[in-house]
């Protein structure tokens, strides 16, 4: 169970789904020996994600894996409580450089919305500039979605 | 340090030896325990077990649920049974006051920040190996003079030695078919906050333990289950039986 500012007391919000983007700086090109372990695991692990409870959709484009999940708890359960994925996380330094900046961003989208890479990178940028908040946050500091009246103001501030 | 004093009060509830036996029994089970079962398992009368179980529940050391065990409901189904299971909370007492958990959280945060996972895993592995070697020495001392073990006995001996070493480290091991699973995560609060870091550290510790205790045919891997440790020991041979 997750407690976060705003009084949301579980990882599911009616009418919303949770979007996620992860970026990484690989230690070598995809065909290099250093990345072989990663490349051999990425497809099976993605297949596990696709079959995991609460998985909605995967962003197929670009730099890093992005996806939409039913709820924060569903995503967290997969990321941290799925054996093969947790093992993948444990070994990530073998394949990716440490990043000084935030490399994972979470944000709420209206149910059914499919974010593109632009939107995802925007949220990552927002997290990096302003820290965790209702528009862009992390597992360690989650937020509930903004109330409707503040949403349009926030959308304006995003531009 | 009001917190320390209240934890001390909770732990003092375990000072009674009967209560302690009941606590140890209930928290080692994978199911909710009835008063009758707890009484039978600890060899005491049911009313006495009920009294002490309720003291444990008041202190928050065990949790209570009510359930009809007959499967019937409605009038005539009888009162629901009072069942007990281990509580999620953890209690620590240190006299004089110490705060190793605060320090551990800070250190974990820094290791995470600087990307030192692989160094942590190496250190954990050698710490686990040292604990494993010590378990191996202890086992050798107690076994001295006993007859030479056959292959089958050697395998059972390996499992016993590993189970003993795991219990020594606070994992609460239990057999699950060919596997050994761990009911308790000794690093629970930290693992909750830094899962890949702490579960990776834990796996390395246990790989070291297996290696140091010279346990052949068993391997540790990550396989988290709700409310249990994230690591399981599996047979590293492929279903030879």
Alpha-carbon gap, residue B113 to B106, rounded angstroms: 11
The tokens describing B45, both together, are 């009368």
> Residue A137: what are its φ and ψ, rounded to 5°?
-145, -175
For the segment B188-221, what is each residue's pLDDT rounded down to a tens digit? Answer: 999 988 999 999 999 999 999 999 999 998 999 9
| Interface membership of A94 toward B (CB under 8 Å) | yes
Percent of chain B with pLDDT over 90: 62
Question: What pLDDT score does B70 carry?
Answer: 63
pLDDT of residue B240 exceeding 60, the answer is: no
Task: Assess whether pLDDT exceeds 80 at residue B29.
Answer: yes
Provide the token pair at B114: 């600087």
Q: Mind telling me how many Å the CA of A19 is from chain B's nearest CA?
A: 21
Q: Looking at the predicted structure, is the pLDDT value of residue B108 above 80?
A: yes
- What does the alpha-carbon distance between residue A58 and residue A68 come to, in Å, rounded to a whole number? 6
Residue (of B70, B66, B57) closest to B27 by Cα position:
B57
Q: Is A82 on the interface with B (CB under 8 A)?
A: yes
Nearest CA in chain A to B227: A81
Q: Best of A90, A103, A138 to disrupt the B interface by mutation (most B CBs within 10 Å)? A: A90
Distance from CA of A98 to the nearest CA of B (A): 6
Please check whether residue A10 touches B, CB under 8 A. no
Interchain contact B199–A (C-beta under 8 A): yes
pLDDT tens-digit map of B67-82: 876 666 666 667 788 9
DSSP class of residue B14? G
pLDDT at residue B146 greater than cutoff 70: no
**Is A140 an interface residue toward B (CB < 8 Å)?**
yes
Residues B91, B94, B100: CA angle, nearest 5 degrees: 85
Q: What is the pLDDT of residue B156?
A: 84
Residue B149 has pLDDT above 60, yes or no: no
Scanning every residue of chain A, which has its alpha carbon at the shortest distance from the alpha carbon of B115? A98
pLDDT score for A4: 45
pLDDT lower than 70: segments of chain A: 1-10, 61-64, 147-159
* Separation CA B104–CA B89 (nearest Å): 18
Q: Taking each helix axis as running N to C, give the angle between helix B35-42 and helix B17-28, from 0 to 180 degrees, rounded to the nearest 10.
A: 120
Cβ-based burial of A15 (10 A; exposed 0-12, middle 13-18, buried ≥19): exposed
- Classify A66 as helix, strand or coil: strand
CB nearest to B224's CB, from A83, A94, A98: A83
Q: Tokens representing B92?
A: 């620590």
User: pLDDT by residue (tens digit) across A43-54?
Assistant: 899 999 999 999
Closest residue, chain B, to A78 (C-alpha): B224
């Amino acid at each position: 169970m997750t407690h976060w500012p705003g009084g949301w007391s579980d990882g599911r919000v009616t009418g919303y789904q949770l979007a996620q983007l992860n970026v990484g700086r690989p230690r070598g090109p995809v065909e290099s020996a250093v990345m072989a372990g990663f490349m051999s695991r990425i497809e099976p692990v993605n297949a596990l994600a696709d079959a995991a409870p609460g998985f909605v959709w995967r962003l197929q484009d670009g730099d890093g894996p992005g996806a939409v999940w039913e709820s924060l708890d569903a995503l967290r359960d997969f990321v941290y409580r799925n054996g093969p994925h947790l093992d993948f996380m444990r070994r990530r330094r073998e394949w990716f450089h440490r990043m000084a900046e935030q490399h994972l961003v979470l944000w709420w989208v209206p149910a059914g919305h499919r974010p593109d890479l632009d939107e995802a990178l925007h949220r990552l940028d927002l997290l990096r500039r302003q820290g965790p908040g209702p528009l862009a946050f992390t597992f360690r500091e989650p937020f509930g979605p903004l109330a409707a009246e503040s949403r349009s103001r926030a959308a304006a501030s995003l531009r | 340090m009001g917190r320390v004093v209240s934890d001390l009060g909770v732990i003092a509830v375990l000072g009674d030896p009967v209560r302690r036996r009941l606590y140890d029994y209930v928290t080692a089970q994978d199911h909710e325990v009835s008063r009758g079962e707890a009484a039978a398992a600890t060899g005491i009368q049911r009313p006495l077990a009920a009294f002490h179980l309720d003291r444990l529940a008041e202190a928050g050391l065990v949790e209570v649920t009510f359930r009809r065990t007959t499967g019937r409901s409605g009038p005539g189904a009888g009162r629901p049974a009072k069942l007990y299971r281990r509580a999620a909370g953890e209690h620590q007492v240190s006299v004089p006051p110490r705060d190793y958990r605060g320090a551990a959280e800070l250190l974990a945060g820094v290791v995470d920040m600087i990307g030192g996972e692989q160094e942590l895993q190496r250190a954990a592995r050698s710490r686990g190996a040292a604990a494993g070697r010590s378990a191996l020495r202890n086992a050798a001392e107690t076994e001295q003079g006993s007859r030479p073990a056959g292959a089958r006995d050697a395998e059972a001996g390996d499992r016993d030695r590993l189970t003993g070493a795991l219990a020594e480290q606070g994992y609460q091991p239990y057999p699950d078919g060919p596997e050994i699973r761990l009911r308790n995560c000794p690093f629970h609060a930290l693992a909750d906050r830094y899962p890949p870091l702490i579960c990776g550290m834990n796996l390395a510790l246990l790989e070291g333990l297996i290696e140091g205790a010279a346990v052949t045919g068993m391997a540790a891997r990550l396989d988290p289950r709700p409310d249990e440790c994230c690591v399981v020991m599996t047979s590293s041979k492929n279903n030879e039986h």
